C-alpha cells in the first residue's frame, strides 16, 4: 500500500469477485471463483492449460456475461456491461493471441486507445472546430509519449503487422495504457519472448505498477510470475485452488499436484 | 513555375498532394470547355455521381470492413423520396405548381440523404451480429426488399410505370437544364461530399471505423462502442447514396425501379474494389477509369455488334486486378476484407471465436 494522503478515499480493493461462475452449456469454465485484488499490486493468475484463466479475464472485461456471481470494480458492479463501457470505467487489457490493428501504424493503434477519453462528434470532425483540433493534437502527443514509454519510439509510423513479435506485445500494452486504466490485465505478456525480452517486460510491468496502476497478469513463465507478483492466484479446472505470495503458492501441495499430477 | 517543380520533386508529401489536388481541380473545372461533345460531358456527370456513390460505399466496405451488397437500396430511397414528395405529394395531392417551390429541390437533396441515412441505421441494426458472408447475404436481401417495394407499391411509387415529371433544379430562376450546367452541379456535390468524407475518415471516428475493420473484438476492448460506430458507418454511407439518388431523380426527371437493379450495387462495389478500398482516392480513380473505359468501348464496331462484351471486359479487368493487385489501383495498404485468403493466425482465431459462440 502506498500510504498516500488520499489512501482513505480509495482504500477498498480495486477489484472484488464474488462467487463468479461462467458456464458454456454443460461446461463450467469458471466455477464460483471469489478473489480480491488490492490496489497498486501486481497480481499473477496461473494454472494449467484450460484452467479458466482467460475465460475469467473475458468475463471481467465484458467479453462474456457472467452466468452468476458478481464483479465489483472500485466498488461498482460491472458484470454484464459491454467491453467498451468497462474500458471507459478504467479496466484495460491485452490479448493472449496478439490482436493489434495490423494495417494501422503503431501510432494509430495507440491513438485508437484514446478513443474513450475523447469526445469530438460528427459535426466537430467535419467542421474541424478549434476544440476538435486541440483534442486531436493532445491524442497524438499522448500517444507518442506512450510509445516512448514502452520503448517503441523508433517505430511510430511502422505498420503494426510489420513489427517484430516482442514489439507487438509492447505495442498492445501501450494501446491499453492509452485508455487511462486504473486496472490493467495482461494475458500472457511474455509468451514467445526470449529471456532478455521477458526481463525487459518485467521492468516495464514494474514501472507501470509504480506509476499507480494495478496489474493482473496471466503468465506461464514462472520466472516472470515469481519475480514480480505480490500475490498469485492459482486456478485449476475453473476453480481457485490456492492464493498468496509467490513463496506460499509455490509450496502449496495442491498447486504442485495441479501442475505435476498426484504423486503415487 | 520553378517553385512548383521544386515542390513536386521535394519529399514534402502533403505540399505535393496539395499542388496536385489544385491542378486536378483546375482540370475538372476547365473540362467542359475542352470537350467537344455533350456525350462526354453527360458521361462525366455520371462519373461524378458514381464517384460519390463509390466513396460513400467505401466508408462502409473499405473503412469499416462491412461487406455491403445492397448499397443501391439507399440510392433508391433518396430517388424515390424526392420523386414521391415532389410529384405525388406536392403536385398531385396538393396541386401546387412545382415552379413555385423550386427551393424544395435543394431541401430534398439534403433530406433524401437524411432519410437514407436513417434507413441505413435501421437496416443496419439487425445486421450488427453478422459478419462476412452472412452480412453480405442480408444486405443483398435488403436491396431486393427495397426494389420489390418500389416495383409493387403502386399507390406510392407508381410501380413499374415509374414517376416522371420530377423538376429540374433551379435557383431564383436560373435553371439547371443543360448538360453543361448539370456537370457543374454534380461537380460541386462531388467535391463537397469528398471533402466531408475525407474529414470523417481522418478523425477519431475514422480511426474507430478502421479499428473495427481490423479487429472488432480489440476495437470494443479499446473502448469503442462498436455497434454504434457500425450504425454510424451505415448511416454515413447511406447519406451520400441518398443525396445522389435525389440528384438522379432531378437530373433524369424520372425515377424507375430499373435505375436501382442489383447490377448497380455490384457496379458501385466494383468501382471501390478497382480503385482501392479504404482509401479516399480509390473510388474516385475507380469510377473515372472504369466508366470512361466502358464508354470508350462503345466506339468500336465489334462492341456495338456484341454489347455483352462490355460486361465481360468488366469481369476480366476485375479478375486480373484481384490476381495482380488485390489492394486496388490506389490501395497502398492491403485491406483485409473477406476477399483474400486468411492467414493461419486468422483462421485459428476464427475457429476459436466460432467455438466460443457455440459454447455460449
Q: In this predicted model, what pLDDT tens digit does every residue of A167-210 receive, in sequence order?
A: 999 999 999 999 999 999 999 999 888 888 889 999 999 999 99
CA distance B206 to chain A (A): 10
**Cell matching residue B355:** 467455438
Q: Are strands A214-218 and A183-187 parallel, antiparallel or unpaired?
A: parallel
Distance, CA of A70 to CA of A74 (rounded, Å): 13
pLDDT for the residue B340:
44
Name the closest residue on chain B to residue A101, using Cα atoms. B214
pTM of this prediction exceeds 0.80 = yes
Which tens digit of pLDDT belongs to each residue from B175-230?
Answer: 888 888 999 999 999 999 999 999 999 999 999 999 999 999 999 999 999 999 99
Distance, CA of A173 to CA of A204 (rounded, Å): 10
E strand or H helix at A37, and its extent? strand A27-37
CA distance A116 to chain B (A): 5
Question: Residues A69, A17: contact at Cβ < 8 Å?
Answer: yes
pLDDT mean over A73-88: 92
Res. A6 pLDDT band, cuts 50 70 90: very low
**Cell matching residue B78:** 433518396
pLDDT mean over B282-307: 87
CA distance B114 to chain A (A): 14
Distance, CA of B60 to CA of B48 (rounded, Å): 19
Which of A27, A102, A135, A169 has the highest number of chain B CBs within 10 A, making it the mutation to test binding with B?
A102
In chain A, residues with a C-beta closer than 8 Å to the C-beta of B210 are 101, 103-104, 108
CA distance A212 to chain B (A): 20
pLDDT for the residue A8:
42
- Residue B338 clears pLDDT 50, i.e. is over it: no
- Residue B1 clears pLDDT 70, i.e. is over it: no
Q: Are strands A68-73 and A15-24 parallel, antiparallel or unpaired?
A: antiparallel
Res. B347 pLDDT band, cuts 50 70 90: low
Q: Helix B179-201 to helix B204-214 angle, to the nearest 10 degrees?
A: 80
Distance, CA of A224 to CA of A46 (rounded, Å): 11
CB nearest to A101's CB, from B214, B335, B352: B214
The one-character DSSP state at A232 is E
Res. B5 pLDDT band, cuts 50 70 90: low
Tell me whether A69 touches chain B (CB under 8 Å): no
pLDDT for the residue A5:
44
pLDDT for the residue B32:
85
pLDDT for the residue B348:
59
Tell me whether A132 touches chain B (CB under 8 Å): yes
**Cell matching residue B359:** 459454447
CB nearest to B360's CB, from A24, A100, A136: A24
pLDDT for the residue B19:
87
Mean pLDDT of the residues in chain B: 86
Which tens digit of pLDDT belongs to each residue from B136-188?
Answer: 899 999 999 999 999 999 988 998 999 998 999 988 888 888 888 999 999 99
Tell me whether A84 touches chain B (CB under 8 Å): yes
In chain A, residues with a C-beta closer than 8 Å to the C-beta of B333 are 103, 159
CA angle in degrees (0–180, nearest 5) for B133-B139-B140 = 90
- Residue A14 clears pLDDT 70, i.e. is over it: yes
CB nearest to A99's CB, from B217, B348, B356: B217
Q: Are strands A76-77 and A42-46 parallel, antiparallel or unpaired?
A: unpaired
For the beta carbon of residue B266, count every other beta carbon within 10 angstroms.
14
Which tens digit of pLDDT belongs to each residue from B79-124?
Answer: 999 999 998 888 888 988 888 888 999 999 999 999 999 999 998 8
User: How many contacts, defined by CB atoms under 8 Å, are there between A and B?
Assistant: 114
In chain B, residues with a C-beta closer than 8 Å to the C-beta of A159 are 333
Give the percent of chain B with pLDDT over 90.
46
Distance, CA of A81 to CA of A64 (rounded, Å): 9
Question: What is the four-CA torsion angle of A205, A33, A72, A170, rounded to 10 degrees?
Answer: 20
pLDDT for the residue B339:
43
Which of A115, A123, A168 has the highest number of chain B CBs within 10 A, making it the mutation to test binding with B?
A115
CA angle in degrees (0–180, nearest 5) for B153-B156-B159 = 50
List the single range of A87-91, B33-37, B43-47, B212-216 with lowest mean pLDDT. Answer: B33-37
- Residue B235 clears pLDDT 60, i.e. is over it: yes
The one-character DSSP state at B161 is G
**Residue located via cell numbers 460519390:** B52
CA distance A127 to chain B (A): 8
Mean pLDDT of the residues in chain A: 90
**Cell matching residue A25:** 452449456
Distance, CA of A42 to CA of A186 (rounded, Å): 11
**Residue located via cell numbers 396541386:** B95
Q: What is the ipTM for the molecules in this complex? A: 0.90
Question: What is the four-CA torsion angle of B153, B157, B159, B164, rounded to 10 degrees?
Answer: 170
Which of B113, B217, B222, B228 has the highest number of chain A CBs within 10 A, making it the mutation to test binding with A?
B222
Res. B351 pLDDT band, cuts 50 70 90: low
Amino acid at each position: 500500500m502506498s500510504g498516500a494522503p488520499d489512501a482513505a478515499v480509495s482504500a477498498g480493493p480495486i477489484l472484488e469477485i464474488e462467487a463468479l461462475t461462467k458456464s458454456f452449456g454443460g461446461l463450467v469454465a469458471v466455477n464460483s471463483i471469489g478473489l480480491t485484488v488490492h490496489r497498486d499490486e501486481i497480481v499473477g493468475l496461473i494454472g494449467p492449460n484450460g484452467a479458466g484463466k482467460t475465460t475469467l479475464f473475458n468475463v471481467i472485461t465484458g467479453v462474456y456475461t457472467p452466468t452468476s456471481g458478481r464483479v465489483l470494480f472500485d466498488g461498482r458492479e460491472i458484470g454484464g456491461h459491454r467491453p467498451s463501457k468497462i474500458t471507459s470505467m478504467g479496466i484495460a487489457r491485452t490479448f493472449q493471441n496478439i490482436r493489434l490493428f495490423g494495417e494501422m501504424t503503431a501510432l494509430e493503434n495507440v491513438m485508437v486507445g484514446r478513443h474513450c477519453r475523447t469526445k469530438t462528434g460528427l459535426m466537430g470532425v467535419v467542421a474541424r472546430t478549434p476544440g476538435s483540433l486541440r483534442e486531436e493534437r493532445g491524442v497524438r502527443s499522448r500517444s507518442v509519449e506512450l510509445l516512448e514509454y514502452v520503448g517503441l519510439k523508433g517505430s511510430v509510423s511502422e505498420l503494426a503487422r510489420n513489427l517484430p513479435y516482442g514489439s507487438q506485445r509492447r505495442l498492445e500494452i501501450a494501446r491499453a495504457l492509452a485508455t487511462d486504466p486504473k486496472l490493467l490485465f495482461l494475458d500472457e505478456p511474455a509468451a514467445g519472448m526470449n529471456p532478455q525480452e521477458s526481463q525487459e517486460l518485467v521492468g516495464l510491468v514494474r514501472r507501470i505498477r509504480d506509476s499507480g496502476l494495478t496489474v493482473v497478469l496471466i503468465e506461464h513463465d514462472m520466472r516472470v510470475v515469481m519475480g514480480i507478483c505480490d500475490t498469485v492466484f492459482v486456478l485449476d479446472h475453473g476453480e481457485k485452488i490456492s492464493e498468496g505470495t509467490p513463496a506460499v503458492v509455490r509450496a502449496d501441495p495442491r498447486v504442485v499436484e495441479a501442475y505435476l499430477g498426484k504423486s503415487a | 513555375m520553378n517553385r512548383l517543380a521544386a515542390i513536386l520533386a521535394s519529399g514534402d508529401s502533403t505540399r505535393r498532394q496539395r499542388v496536385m489536388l489544385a491542378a486536378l481541380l483546375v482540370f475538372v473545372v476547365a473540362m467542359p470547355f475542352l470537350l467537344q461533345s455533350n456525350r462526354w460531358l453527360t458521361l462525366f456527370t455520371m462519373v461524378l455521381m458514381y464517384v460519390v456513390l463509390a466513396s460513400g460505399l467505401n466508408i462502409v466496405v473499405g473503412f469499416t470492413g462491412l461487406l455491403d451488397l445492397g448499397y443501391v437500396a439507399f440510392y433508391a430511397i433518396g430517388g424515390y423520396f424526392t420523386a414521391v414528395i415532389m410529384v405525388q405529394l406536392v403536385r398531385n395531392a396538393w396541386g401546387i405548381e412545382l415552379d413555385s417551390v423550386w427551393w424544395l429541390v435543394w431541401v430534398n437533396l439534403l433530406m433524401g440523404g437524411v432519410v437514407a441515412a436513417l434507413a441505413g441505421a435501421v437496416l443496419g441494426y439487425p445486421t450488427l451480429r453478422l459478419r462476412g458472408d452472412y452480412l453480405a447475404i442480408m444486405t443483398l436481401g435488403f436491396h431486393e426488399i427495397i426494389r420489390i417495394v418500389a416495383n409493387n407499391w403502386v399507390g406510392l411509387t407508381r410501380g413499374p410505370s415509374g414517376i416522371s415529371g420530377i423538376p429540374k433544379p433551379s435557383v431564383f430562376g436560373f435553371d439547371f437544364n443543360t448538360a453543361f450546367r448539370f456537370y457543374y452541379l454534380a461537380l460541386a456535390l462531388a467535391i463537397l461530399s469528398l471533402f466531408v468524407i475525407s474529414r470523417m475518415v481522418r478523425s477519431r471516428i475514422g480511426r474507430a471505423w478502421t479499428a473495427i475493420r481490423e479487429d472488432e473484438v480489440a476495437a470494443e476492448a479499446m473502448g469503442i462502442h462498436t455497434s454504434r460506430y457500425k450504425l454510424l458507418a451505415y448511416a454515413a454511407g447511406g447519406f451520400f447514396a441518398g443525396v445522389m439518388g435525389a440528384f438522379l431523380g432531378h437530373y433524369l426527371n424520372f425515377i424507375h425501379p430499373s435505375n436501382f437493379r442489383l447490377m448497380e450495387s455490384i457496379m458501385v462495389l466494383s468501382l471501390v474494389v478497382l480503385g482501392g478500398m479504404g482509401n479516399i482516392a480509390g473510388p474516385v480513380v475507380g469510377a473515372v477509369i472504369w466508366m470512361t473505359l466502358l464508354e470508350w468501348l462503345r466506339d468500336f464496331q465489334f462492341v456495338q455488334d456484341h454489347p455483352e462484351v462490355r460486361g465481360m471486359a468488366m469481369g476480366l479487368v476485375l479478375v486480373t486486378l484481384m490476381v495482380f493487385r488485390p489492394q486496388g489501383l490506389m490501395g497502398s495498404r492491403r485491406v483485409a476484407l473477406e476477399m483474400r485468403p486468411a492467414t493461419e493466425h486468422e483462421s485459428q482465431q476464427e475457429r476459436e471465436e466460432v467455438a466460443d459462440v457455440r459454447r455460449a
